[in-house]
Amino acid sequence: MHELSVTQSVLSIALEHAQKAGAQRITQIVVVIGDFSTFVDDSVQFYFDIISQGTIAEGAELIFDRTPGRLRCGDCGSTFTYDARRVELTCPSCGGSRLEIVGGREFYVESIGVEP
Ligand SMILES: [Zn+2]
């Protein structure tokens, strides 16, 4: 249930930005989420709808911008994009299986949409 705490930080970041911009209402929040981050989109929206009640972000739509996971092979050093449809997770260049995650764990607020 760690979605709740990340959702709280999404909300507070959005509120902070809206306040600085002098906005009356937040209409949407774009959240970048990596394929390897363990957060589930639906849960984040679910928690958001609850905790944003009574704030200017109430009713805002969360838009998830998914970034692909990147892996690096420990044998040949090549990097490639993680493809969830592949059954075996091995290096496409050399077939090695010593893989390291080098991208796709992102989770951050990219932008917010507001009504002035
Ligand atoms: Zn390799």
Summarised one tens digit per residue, pLDDT across range 52-96 is: 999 999 999 999 999 999 999 999 999 999 987 877 889 999 999
Quote the pLDDT of residue 67. 92
Ligand 1 centre distance from Cα of residue 93 (Å)? 5
pLDDT confidence band for 97 (50 / 70 / 90): very high
- pTM, to two decimals: 0.82
**Is residue 28 predicted with pLDDT exceeding 70?**
yes
Ligand 1 centre distance from Cα of residue 71 (Å)? 10
Ligand 1 centre distance from Cα of residue 89 (Å)? 11
What does the alpha-carbon distance between residue 8 and residue 30 come to, in Å, rounded to a whole number?
15
pLDDT confidence band for 3 (50 / 70 / 90): confident
Evaluate the CA torsion angle 35, 36, 38, 44 in order and state its sign. negative
Q: How many Å separate Cα 38 from the centre of its chain?
A: 9
Q: Which residues contact 16 (CB under 8 A, 6 or more apart)?
A: none
Q: Are 107 and 8 in contact (CB under 8 A)?
A: no
